[in-house]
Structure 1
Amino acid sequence: MVRTNPERRQALLDASIEVLARDGARGLTFRAVDKEAAVPTGTASNYFTNRDELLVQAAHRYYERLLPADEAIEQAQGPQTRESMIGLMTEVVDRVSRFRTGYLAILELRLEATRRPELQELLTERVRADLDFNIGNYRQSGLPGGEEAVVLLYLALNWLILDRLTLPGIFDEDRAAALVRTAVERVIPAEA
């Protein structure tokens, strides 16, 4: 029987993210999740019917936890300048970088998605929806450029985050902020 205590389920999913980040997808077992969540053995198996469901639900939880604050969402909508875009992109890089275990877990999930169609479908839909949302906001921003600007920033900043979290000796926080500024200034044409 699947349990329905939402707080316990959330704790198990948060523990799953930690296990994925630390031990990789192969280390994600019900027993490992139970241990990480400090719950009795067998608890995770009462909440998730199988490992595939746990992987998919961990991906959902990652995106729940990564949501920006309401003020960041409001700031992203409406008229923008290159300078305000630099601020928004810096906030995104900082927010994702602060959730280090989440980002490492989602990398594990992306690799696992190459072998699990349901997980691949979920992650594809999620990333596509995020890109579409950001493209829509960019169109409303009044800035020059188009969809390519959003996609190029997405690609460049994701790799910057990857390097910061996996090889932290390459770019310190100041250098990362300077690179965000440079990326925005080069991708978004100067306002005429």
Structure 2
Amino acid sequence: MVRNPERRAALVDAAIEVLARDGARGLTFRAVDAAAGVPGGTASNYFSNRDDLLGQVTGRIHQRIAPDPDEVAEVMAAPRSRALVADLMRWINRRVTENRTGYLAMLELRLEATRRPELQAELTRVMRATLDGDIGFHLESGLPGDRTAVLLTYLAMTGLMLEQLTLPGVVPAEETDGLITALVDRTIGPSGEPG
């Protein structure tokens, strides 16, 4: 296999674009080569097969959608409160709409994982580690709400993101901020415990 890390990263980024645009069935080496603007056959020199490419995409998507640590520090400068949790959820929701391609590609990966046991195992491992990290961050940061509240918020936000990415007219954009506030109020409750 060829070892040019910049070219490999460009191919994986192109694969994310193809996955978001054309779905898993459209993710071919030829489509990746075209999206990356490289000669035909380049992707096949970097990835042993489609599963190898999907595995690389799984790791790269999380790098692309991860928040900048400085942005996190800026948001977390506020006092720990339900209002801050709601602000964090609105911030996450904005990030989804601003990085639509990355999140659509993640949805496509999830669907493809239902048909590929190896991908499902890897994606489950990555997503479980991410969720555990998010729960740990919430609890260690002194934000109100227990583990159950964080899980309920995660599940509800995942549903909201799915609607916004796939059928944006189901939940009108102008309603999302109020819904997120209500969600946090109900999952965390007035005392910091689930309502």
TM-score for both structures, normalised by structure 2: 0.90
Partner Cα distance (1:67, 1:115) in 2: 26
Q: How does 1:75-154 map to 2 (within 5 A)?
A: 75-76=75-76, 80-154=80-154
Q: How does 1:64-79 map to 2 (within 5 A)?
A: 64-74=63-73, 75-76=75-76
- Residue 62 to residue 23, structure 1, CA distance change in 2 (3 Å): same
Give unpaired runs (5+ residues) of structure 2: none
Deviation string, structure 1 residues 110-135 (Cα, Å, up to 9, x no partner)? 11112222211221111111111121
Larger mean Cα displacement after TM superposition, 114-123 or 36-45 = 114-123
- Residue 76 to residue 46, structure 1, CA distance change in 2 (3 Å): farther
**Is 1:186 aligned with 2:186?**
yes
- Residue 168 to residue 78, structure 1, CA distance change in 2 (3 Å): closer
Number of residue pairs the alignment of both structures matches: 191
**SS class of match (2:105):** helix
Give unpaired runs (5+ residues) of structure 1: none
Partner Cα distance (2:138, 2:191) in 1: 14
Partner Cα distance (1:50, 1:107) in 2: 21
Larger mean Cα displacement after TM superposition, 70-79 or 182-191 = 70-79
* Matched AA of 1:82: R
Partner residue of 1:59?
58
Partner residue of 2:46?
47
Indicate the RMSD between aligned Cα atoms, in angstroms: 1.9
- Residue 25 to residue 155, structure 1, CA distance change in 2 (3 Å): same
Partner residue of 1:3?
2
- The answer as to whether partners of 2:85 and 2:143 remain within 8 angstroms in 1 is no
Partner Cα distance (2:67, 2:142) in 1: 22
- The answer as to whether partners of 1:78 and 1:137 remain within 8 angstroms in 2 is no
Percent pairwise identity: 53
Partner Cα distance (1:79, 1:113) in 2: 40
**SS class of match (2:67):** coil
- The answer as to whether partners of 1:149 and 1:187 remain within 8 angstroms in 2 is yes
TM-score for both structures, normalised by structure 1: 0.91
**Offset at residue 39 of structure 1 (A):** 0.7
- The answer as to whether partners of 1:138 and 1:150 remain within 8 angstroms in 2 is yes
**Offset at residue 178 of structure 1 (A):** 1.5
**Offset at residue 159 of structure 1 (A):** 1.0
**SS class of match (1:58):** helix
Partner Cα distance (2:85, 2:191) in 1: 13
**Offset at residue 77 of structure 1 (A):** 9.0
**SS class of match (2:118):** helix
- Residue 68 to residue 98, structure 1, CA distance change in 2 (3 Å): same
Deviation string, structure 1 residues 84-123 (Cα, Å, up to 9, x no partner)? 1111111111112221121111111111112222211221
Q: Displaced runs of 4+ in structure 1, greater than 4 A?
A: 75-79
Partner Cα distance (1:138, 1:24) in 2: 33
- Residue 77 to residue 136, structure 1, CA distance change in 2 (3 Å): farther
